[in-house]
Amino acid sequence: MTVPGDRVADVCIVGVGAVGGILAKELARAGLDVVGFERGPALQRSDYAARDSIKFTVRQNQLEWVRHDPVMHRRGRDARASLRYTTSPANALGGALLHWTGQASRFLPGDFRVFTNEVASGLADRAGADLTGYDITDWPVSYEDLEPYYERFEWEFGVSGKAGVNPFEGKRRDYPLPPLRRSARGELFAAACQRLGYHPFDSPAGILSQPYRPPEPYDTRIPERPACVYCGHCNYYGCHVHAKAATLYTAIPAAVETGRFDLRTRSRAFRITTDFSGRATGVAYFDPEGQIREQRARVVILAAFVYENVRLLLLSGPEGASARRGLANSSGMVGRCILAHGDVRAAGVFDDAIINGFIGPGSAAVRIDDFNGNNFDHTGLGFIRGATIGTSGGGTPVERFDVLPPDVPRWGRDFKEFFARAYTRTFELNMQAETLPHPENRIDLDPRRKDAWGVPLPRVTFAFHENEARLRRFLADVGRRIMEETGASHVWTDVKASPNRWAGGTRMGDDPARSVVNSYCQAHDVPNLFVVGSSDFPTMAGYPPTCTIAALAYRTAEYIARQRELFR
């Protein structure tokens, strides 16, 4: 039974995480009446910030915010799909910012212009790249367009870093806070990179290096938070002191405080409702008791993770099995050209240097962008694009016993003796090799598997193609050379990691025939429907998506608040 709500909200937001939290705050502050749907619970600090490696790393598929929403994955159209439990979306109020590593990098200016700079310019031909099957486009926004919004994220949430040290970064003002304390692995990596003629810098981090409260002209109503204590329980854990940037204890309470944000947790949207003209009229959802309800709204915003933004569009609009099924899909691009990183690792064990990787956050990294994007000469290399290269390798012992060189046994006395020494003496370089957009890499609805509410699960079909394969091999060689220069005694590389950090699926663009949303994340087909998040990315970058997602959220909020005709 559907119970229609009698009140028509100005805005309905689906997913209250990074994007949803920012949008809720900005739109409620602008005087709009906002309803937010979050399918997960509102967690307490004791739920997300216990120092418990079994709970947060080993058994993460049993976490409250993971276990209800598995995703089907397969490596190709003919491969069998299997069920995966993923922490990526974190189905809880505040979303993945609760447990992100905190790597707060803006994209490079060139990351928005891959078609112009690399394909149309002839660079791909000079590189000898094989771009067969890819569908590469520019973003409809530039770095300069997003720059003020990157800045707002950095100053409202408190990003630690230093401007002017990375010669490849775009124009910017300084960070609100100095970099986090440099780790032992950072010292070794920076020294090696300097000797090799690269340009090491302390990575910007969404973690406070000092107590912080946003100053004027930013949002001064966000409360002060304390500095990082370097406990090391960072990636996959919530922060027990709230030094990590997260909407749960910043933007979301600020939105609620306005009195205009009606927040509904454990409420699962499963369909965007529409009228005969094709405009969105609201959201149908399961309330916490499992009852089907409807909330009407003048504007609907999808602000969930890649999987869910695509799934909701495919579940909405006209029924049918055609390639253009679903809502806002006249281009046939909904779910197409999903993107990820094909992480490459180079690791080293040291005889004498003590690394103690368990100290401090992973985002207190040193990195180089000498092999990122279009920052190096690709002539004859056989591929385009690149990756940031940075230090990595934290974690408690239970997260580390598989970090072993290939020639060390996996069990027995030799394993024990090796690991007993290596745990405090190992670190890795992580290289976030970007994948290029390929239409066969996509999300659709699984034809068989459903969740506990009877809604089809999203199904990811993803394979690395030729450009990624060549790029990853190249990066492994670069990583090996750097690790050898650090003085590690045992160096090994790994190019086999599964895809990580998803994007794409509701691509943004100026051409409605080739994209789902415009530069303001507004659906080409449905003017009162917005889709905001990494699902909008036309191309990936050699960096994690978080800051760019946040920048899109601020920019979209400003645009929506100005479009008064949407609310008449």
Partner 1 sequence: MTARTSRRSTSTQNPHERREGRALTRGERVTLAAIAERIFPATDTPGAVDAGAVEYIEIALAGAYASLRARYRRALREIDLHARQTSGRAFRELDGAGQDRILTDLEAGALSAVKNGADFFRLVRQHVLEGIFGDPQYGGNRDLVGWRIVGFPGQRTGYADAYINRVVDLPPIAADDTSAP
Alpha helices for 86-168 (secondary structure H): 114, 123-127, 143-157
User: 7, 31, 52, 481: which one contacts partner 1 (CB under 8 A)?
Assistant: 52
Alpha-carbon 142 to chain mean position:
19
When asked if residue 398 is in the footprint of partner 1 (CB under 8 A), the reply is: yes
Verify binding: residue 84, partner 1, rule CB under 8 A.
Answer: no
Between 59 and 450, whose beta carbon lies closer to partner 1? 59
Strand blocks (E) in 68-107 = 71-74, 82-84
Residues 91-150 within binding reach of partner 1 (CB under 8 A): none
Of residues 184-203, which lie at the interface with partner 1 (CB under 8 A)?
184, 187
Interface stretch with partner 1, choices 115-123, 250-258, 357-365, 475-483 (CB under 8 A): 357-365
Smallest gap from residue 457 Cβ to partner 1 (A): 19
Kindly state the helix (H) or strand (E) to which residue 8 belongs, with its residue range.
strand 3-14
180 lies in the binding site for partner 1 (CB under 8 A): no
Among 419, 520, 559, 567, binds partner 1 (CB under 8 A): 419
How near is the Cβ of 390 to partner 1 at its closest, in Å?
A: 17
d(CA 383, CA 466): 8
According to CB under 8 A, which one of 166, 183, 281, 528 is a site residue for partner 1? 183
Q: Which is nearer to partner 1, 54 or 120 (CB)?
A: 54
Min separation Cβ 361 and partner 1, Å: 11
Of 4, 7, 51, 194, the residue at the interface with partner 1 (CB under 8 A) is 51
In whole angstroms, how close is the CB of 191 to partner 1 at the nearest point? 12
Q: Which residues contact 82 (CB under 8 A, 6 or more apart)?
A: 72, 73, 74
Q: Which stretch binds partner 1 (CB under 8 A): 140-148, 192-200, 397-405, 510-518?
A: 397-405
356 near partner 1, rule: CB under 8 A: yes
> Binding residues for partner 1, how many (CB under 8 A)?
41
In which element (H, E) is residue 270 found?
strand 268-274
Give the interface segment with partner 1, choosing from 122-130, 161-169, 179-187, 212-220 (CB under 8 A): 179-187
Tokens of 159: 């990003």
165 CB-near residues (< 8 Å, 6+ apart):
199, 201, 202
Contacts of 102 (CB under 8 A, 6+ apart): 205, 206, 207, 234, 244, 245, 361, 362, 363
Residue 100 to residue 546: CA distance in whole angstroms: 9
Residues linked to residue 37 through DSSP beta bridges, in sequence order: 14, 264
Establish whether the linkage from the previous residue to 217 is cis, with ω within 30° of 0: yes
Nearest Cα residue to 543 out of 198, 168, 242: 168
Q: What whole-number distance in Å separates Cα of residue 338 and Cα of residue 389?
A: 23
Which of 109-117, 348-356, 441-449, 504-512 is the region at the interface with partner 1 (rule: CB under 8 A)? Answer: 348-356
Of 163 and 420, CB closest to partner 1:
420
Q: Which of 424, 440, 469, 473 binds partner 1 (CB under 8 A)?
A: 424
Instruction: Give the separation between CA 541 and CA 42, rounded to whole angstroms.
Output: 32
Q: Integer distance in angstroms from the first to the last C-alpha of the chain?
A: 30
Nearer to partner 1, 398 or 513 (CB): 398
Residue of 416, 481, 496, 562 that binds partner 1 (CB under 8 A): 416
* Region of 83-91, 170-178, 328-336, 407-415 interacting with partner 1 (CB under 8 A): 407-415
Residue 452 binding partner 1, by CB under 8 A: no
Rounded distance between C-alpha atoms, residue 111 and residue 328, angstroms: 26
Residue 401 lies near partner 1 (rule: CB under 8 A) = yes
Kindly compute the dihedral angle of the four CA atoms of residues 292, 295, 299, 302, in this order, to the nearest 10 degrees: -30
Q: Retrieve residue 481's tokens.
A: 């050379």
Which of 74, 172, 181, 293 contacts partner 1 by CB under 8 A?
181
Closest CA to 347 of 398, 395, 391: 391
Give the DSSP letter of residue 266: T
Residues 141-170 that bind partner 1 (CB under 8 A): none
**Least distance from C-beta 266 to partner 1, angstroms?**
23
47 binds partner 1 (CB under 8 A): no
Map the footprint of partner 1 across residues 58-77, applying CB under 8 A.
Answer: 58-59, 62
**Between 8 and 231, CB nearer to partner 1:** 231
Among 65, 358, 530, 543, binds partner 1 (CB under 8 A): 358
SS (H, E, C) 454-506: CCEEEEEECCCCHHHHHHHHHHHHHHHHHHHHHCCCEEEEECCCCCEEEECCC
Q: Does 564 bind partner 1 (CB under 8 A)?
A: no
From 265-273, 289-297, 386-394, 412-420, give the range in contact with partner 1 by CB under 8 A. 412-420
Using CB under 8 A, pick the residue from 276, 354, 379, 407 that binds partner 1.
Answer: 354
Single residue of 46, 277, 379, 411 touching partner 1 by CB under 8 A: 411
CA dihedral (508, 509, 510, 516) positive or negative? negative
Which member of 85, 218, 376, 415 binds partner 1 (CB under 8 A)? 415
Q: Which of 77, 80, 171, 410 binds partner 1 (CB under 8 A)?
A: 410
What distance in Å separates the CA atoms of residue 558 and residue 442, rounded to the nearest whole number?
30
Find the binding residues for partner 1 in span 212-251 (CB under 8 A): 229-233, 240
Structure tokens at 36: 């937010």
Pairing of strands 339-349, 490-494: antiparallel
- Contact residues toward partner 1 (CB under 8 A) are 50-55, 58-59, 62, 181, 183-184, 187, 229-233, 240, 353-356, 358-360, 396-398, 401, 410-413, 415-417, 419-420, 423-424
